[in-house]
Chain A
Amino acid sequence: MSDASEHARQAEALSRQLAEIVGAAHVSGVNADLQTFGSLEPDMVVWPAAAPEVARILDTCRAYDAAVGVTGARTRRAADWDRPARVRVALNTRRMTNILDLDESALTVQAQCGIRLRNLELALQRSELTLGFYPVQLHESTLGGLLAEPPPTAYTPMTGRMIDSVLGVSVARVDGSVIHTRVAPRRATGPDLARLYLGAGADFGVITGAVLRVMRAPELVLPLLTLHRELGTAVESARQLLALGVRPARLRVLEANQARRELGEPGYALPAVCIAVLAGPGALVDAQGRAFSEITANLGGSELPQKLADTWWAQQREPEREATMARPARGAALRYSSFAAVLAQLRDKLGDASGEDAELWIDAMSLHGLELWAPRGSAAAEAMDAMGLASIGRERPPLLQALREVVDNTGTMLERGPLSEPPRIVGDADVTR
């Protein structure tokens, strides 16, 4: 039998098995369905509805030596197949969209992985709750996608990273089991096992659901824009605000070109703008606002009109507008201690570049560092590459391969990115000689 017909026979048999698990209507090898999975080019797509089904699918695929790629809303590019000859199954989570529990006393929500962030937020809003003020550009992503492959934008100073709000996960594993990590405040007993799955793609299994911390919709949300003569003082004002212990719902710094893009042309120059969206009890937000004004004034900055801030914030809450503004970007994680030097070097490289080529913005600020972003393909992004600034989201831990070999020794789960990277060993000397 030729390789091609053996492949087809295997695919056919596997498809029948999968149909037994999820029902024939939820497995498809039809071209029209397969094409929607683009670069994945699967032999079939399967749509499970619950965690036990996912586990059985993985177990069955393992028995057939098939490879499984997991897709949510497909807002992000899937990884490439590693061994082209294997039967390929795309496991799509679009039927797993239930909110399983909403506890308004403990402020936790348990949801399946296929729910889109937008729908989860809408459901929470009905109870005057929110996950936090994550950028609306994330709203079309599924919860599973956001937890398995967390984008850098899934962060606010108020909530931390979205994965930090996870109290527990349910995972279907290639051996056919489903595990649920115990839900507790700051899970304390032993290592945080959920962390093995968060940010691991589907390397170790499929996150089928999660319990997340939610918060009450704040009583007051106050967006503030402040103007600075240069990026350095705008960044410093944000840093000082964080040093006071304030946790804004958004904290960003825009350089002139990016400021024009986001704020329009107010009729005066905007060399550097700091944006702080304060949220919480009214009296506290007011006090924080006063503290921010004081910091700004001390650094020689000034406040921009409240109307401009309100308009910007309203636009940030509009999915359509945010989606058009969101562009592929290149970011680098920096420390405050090196920021000024990096910026000077970058400016030097950029010379008199302007417009999109020179756009820069700063996001994901914490007391310990920040992220500097530029549109992908711009002169600024190229300069960042030339300067060798590490790209955000690329850092993989050592030991991943060793863990993978134990957890999934058949390689059923489609690997993300180049797992063949050698582990980063910082010291391997045997000093005993």
Chain B
Amino acid sequence: MTTAPRDTEATPAAPSIAAPPDRRLTEAIAELEQLLGAARVSQGDADRLTYSRDMWPRTLLAVRDGVPAVAPPDLVVWPASTSEVSAVVRIARRHRLPIVPYGAGSGVCGGAMATRGGIIVDLKRMDRVLEVVTADHLVHAECGIIGQLFEEQLNRRGMTLGHFPSSIYCSTLGGWLAARSAGQLSSLYGKIEDMVERIEVVLGDGRVVELSRDQMPDLGALMVGSEGTLGVITRAWMRVRPLRDFRIFRAYRFPRVAAGCEAMRRIMQRELRPAVTRLYDEMDTLMARPSKHDRPDESSLLGGAGALLGGVDADVQRSVVRAALSRAGMLSKVAESLLPRISSGCLMVLGFEGDRALTEVEAALAHAEALAAGGEDLGQGPGLHWWDRRYAVSYKMSPMFAAGALVDTMEIATTWDRLLELYDEVRKALSRDAVVLAHFSHAYAEGCSIYFTFAAAAKDRASSEALYDELWRRGLDATTRVGATISHHHGVGLSKAAFMSREHGEALSVYRQAKHALDPDGVLNPGKMGL
């Protein structure tokens, strides 16, 4: 039965796509069809396959191996209103079927996967902007709206949310809130949790509550980031800003990561607020060297490799990539030893946006800080280039998998005092068996996030999965040892669940208590986030 709990959620087995007969399910389907109409309830194979995974890269190993239905749900429903979501939850609860809220499925941690079967509740029909109060810079919207469409509606009214994740075309407002997402301009606009004023939530018993940041305590902050384990976020009042299109970019070269980090720290601690601060480590900068091919953004590893292999026969690609990356540890060592000779330093991109007069002053002050920290001015070219291509490279992961590699990104964060230690330790932990690049982005006055990209290869699916799990284990082990957070913005889902207790320690019991209070029957997204 697909609805039975499994022990090892981090390695979901591949269940048969054929749904087993189940009386609870049959009854639930009848009730759901009465509620939503048959067209908005599906038990069809195509839908169950489509919703059997999110963008967790690990699942691509199964897909590559001919198992596309990684964790199919029992059924998929498409409610169109809060009251319908509430009713769906009540039905699920009555029949003890898990509920998995589903935004656009762009999550990269397995959070939207129905590993215990049950009902995927796709919220994308709830996509209306309900009210825009220009005078208050507040917008009320349903949570299934796709990010880019939301932003476009705001732009037409002269406003912006200021939230630009690379996945903006394929993620929803609700998914952003559920996973505490960060956009590329977070140093200026903050993370999604800084932008939310009030949310409407359906709890595990179907009740609908409103939580606002004006309430004390702010229980909305418990919901935001809970990845569907405490409630389904159906609507939100978001804080927006006036749309500004004046931007200044500037790039710098630093001899080492440490000097670049120091520049970022100085800039943020002087209370300057660049919209973009990105520092690429030496390896990442090297891969990002201008070529006639594609240029990278999120990770030049993906862009660089994609560019190098472009046009080569698929089978040849596969064997080249696999051969190179199956010795990734050695490759890393060689690169490391060559680095002093071939390094072109570390590229840093700074970008400012806002009112022209104020932005020019801020950019000039930041420029002085970058130079004072040892940066060499590279002009505005690399920054403008990054801006033009800022959403491009994130979509190159699947081709890398298809070419025989395994690739993933690990976004962790800590305070400035531990940042370089974190960088060294995680790099060391991963580079024994993977090629590792990193960039530093999402800087704050108190610290910064590091975005590692790692690639490796193994001979078959089983050994690839084992290697993948081992790399994550080592990386997060190093992260928690340094005292950093295991995720800055991708969330936890399944992939980091085992490390939740390492991250939170005793404090995780608070989360468990909240889960018990708000979802006593454990209907909502069971098995996720180490609960």
Contacts and interface: CB of A to CB of B under 8 A. Distances in A.
B446 to A, nearest CB: 5
A281 B209 contact: no
A393 interface: yes
Interface stretch (B38-46, B312-320, B392-400, B509-517): B509-517
B458 interface: no
Interface in B215-273: 215-227, 230, 239, 241-242, 265, 269-273
Contacts of B401: none
B1 interface: no
B142 interface: no
B186 to A, nearest CB: 8
Interface string A411-433: 00000000000011111111110
Nearest to B138: A368
Contacts of A158: 271
A178 B509 CA distance: 11
A424 B201 CA distance: 12
A94 interface: no
Contacts of B14: none
Interface string A248-286: 000000000000000000000000000000001101100
Say whether chain A's binding surface is mostly helix, strand, loop, or mixed.
loop
Interface stretch (A40-48, A62-70, A397-405): A397-405
A337 interface: yes
A190 B361 contact: no
Given A182-B485, A287-B357, A423 B209 contact: yes
Contact of A184 (B91, B355, B415): B415
A381 interface: no
B149 interface: no
A431 B86 contact: yes
Contacts, number: 278
Contacts of A244: 354-355, 358
A341 to B, nearest CB: 12
Contacts of A402: 517-518
A195 B485 contact: no
Contacts of B484: 184
B425 interface: no
A99 interface: no
A432 B34 contact: yes
Contact of B35 (A177, A397, A431): A431
A368 B239 contact: yes
A200 B442 CA distance: 30
A200 B135 contact: no
Contacts of B505: 179-180, 182
In which size bucket is the chain B interface?
A: 35 or more
B364 to A, nearest CB: 7
Interface stretch (B57-65, B96-104, B333-341, B486-494): B486-494
Interface string A66-108: 0000000000000000000000000000000000000101111
Contact of B413 (A188, A200, A203, A403): A188
A179 B506 contact: yes
Nearest to B180: A188
B40 to A, nearest CB: 14
A237 interface: no
B9 interface: no
Interface residues of A, number: 78
Contacts of A426: 200, 208-210
Contacts of A181: 504, 507
B7 to A, nearest CB: 22
Contact of A215 (B218, B224, B226, B269): B269
Given A185-B446, A336-B136, A107 B269 contact: yes
A192 B492 contact: no
Interface in A103-132: 103, 105-108
Given A200-B217, A427-B86, A432 B31 contact: yes
A335 interface: yes
Contacts of B273: 245
B224 A397 contact: no
27 contacts: A105-B417, A106-B416, A179-B509, A181-B504, A182-B503, A185-B414, A186-B182, A188-B182, A188-B225, A189-B225, A190-B503, A213-B446, A245-B273, A245-B358, A283-B361, A283-B364, A284-B361, A291-B357, A367-B136, A368-B239, A396-B215, A399-B211, A399-B517, A403-B219, A403-B517, A424-B210, A432-B87
Task: Give 10 nearest A-B pairs by CB, closest first.
Answer: A199-B216, A185-B447, A195-B221, A106-B415, A184-B485, A427-B208, A397-B215, A200-B217, A337-B135, A179-B507
Interface of B: 31, 34-35, 82-84, 86-87, 90-91, 133, 135-138, 180, 182, 188, 190-191, 193-194, 197, 200, 203, 206-212, 214-227, 230, 239, 241-242, 265, 269-273, 354-355, 357-358, 361-362, 364-365, 413-418, 442, 444-449, 483-489, 491-492, 496, 500, 503-507, 509-511, 513-514, 516-518, 529
